[in-house]
Amino acid sequence: MNDLTTPTVLIVDDEPMNRMALAELLSGECRLLLAKDGASALQRVADEPDISLILLDVSMPGMGGYEVLRRLRADARTADIGVIFVTGHTDERDEERGLLLGAQDYVSKPIRPAIVKARVRNYLKLAMQRRELERLSQQDSLTGIANRRHFDEELARACRHARRSQESLSLAMIDVDHFKQYNDHYGHGAGDDALRRIAHTLAGVARRPYDLVARYGGEEFVLLLPGVADVEAVLEQARREVMQLGIAHQMSTTASVLTVSCGGIVADAGRLPKTKESLLNRADEVLYRAKREGRNRVLTERF
């Protein structure tokens, strides 16, 4: 994955000299990708999820710049990518058309290096600030992992993907055992530190790019594992590693250290409930069975 501190810019132009001139001008400013026409530009965007800005030639054979922009804006996954048109046309109606389609700016040919650099820098600065704000809005402020809002969005996306791809979907609810007693005895500062350590441990279990661990609220966490059929093994690893943290808990009636109870479900392909709330409720039911049966354990259910 691209380093998120280095923005990626895609240069699209059917003339090799134009592509190379822009690439040479912007080298050192950002990570650069090149495409020779509209079709290859769209393929680049599909392959590279971290593109921040596209410098897009308006007039190209086949698929022109306006059509590329229209397709980008029509797809939710690419609708927010910035586009600056590079064009030899100076007609106000052409410029208006591009701006109405959602272009951020225009650069006229022949390009003026100082102007191009300034406009690219200004846009990338705003894009990075927006990305940081988005990241913070998706992050739990205490633990640093995903928050409930981000989890809800990813769960909805994972459900849609599972229905399309006919893959299984695993989901787990994880609760810290006797956490109120821990807070009452050791204090809320110690409780916050314990939650941070447990969150870090759970994040280490969710290693794949599409796995997600989030703080769901209080001392409860959720784990999303698209395409994973053996959720029990993952949860058992999580339960064991949390216990191995050795966070002393003198007030626990389960163990002498902090432990977690885990309830997991696996929805087989084609058997997903109609709503993500149904999935969560089912996982929650399995979690409470684990707690009723003595805590510090893993229970799973497949359907």
Q: Which residues are catalytic?
A: 219
Burial of 209 (0-12, 13-18, 19+ CB in 10 A): exposed
Distances (CA, A) of 260 to 163, 200, 201, 237: 31, 14, 12, 11
Alpha-carbon distance values, 223 to 28, 77, 99, 179, 215 (Å): 39, 23, 42, 19, 9
Q: Which long-range contacts (CB under 8 A, 24 or more apart) does 247-250 make?
A: 247/194, 247/197, 249/178, 249/181, 249/182, 250/185
**Range 31-40 burial, b when 16+ CB lie within 10 A, else e:** bbbbbbbbee
CB atoms within 10 A of CB 79: 10
Length of the chain: 303
Name the DSSP letter for residue 210.
T
Spatial neighbors of 178 by CB under 8 A, at least 6 apart, are 249, 251, 252, 253, 254, 295
Burial of 46 (0-12, 13-18, 19+ CB in 10 A): exposed
Preceding amide of 110 cis, omega within 30: yes
Round to whole Å and give the CA distance between 144 and 138.
9
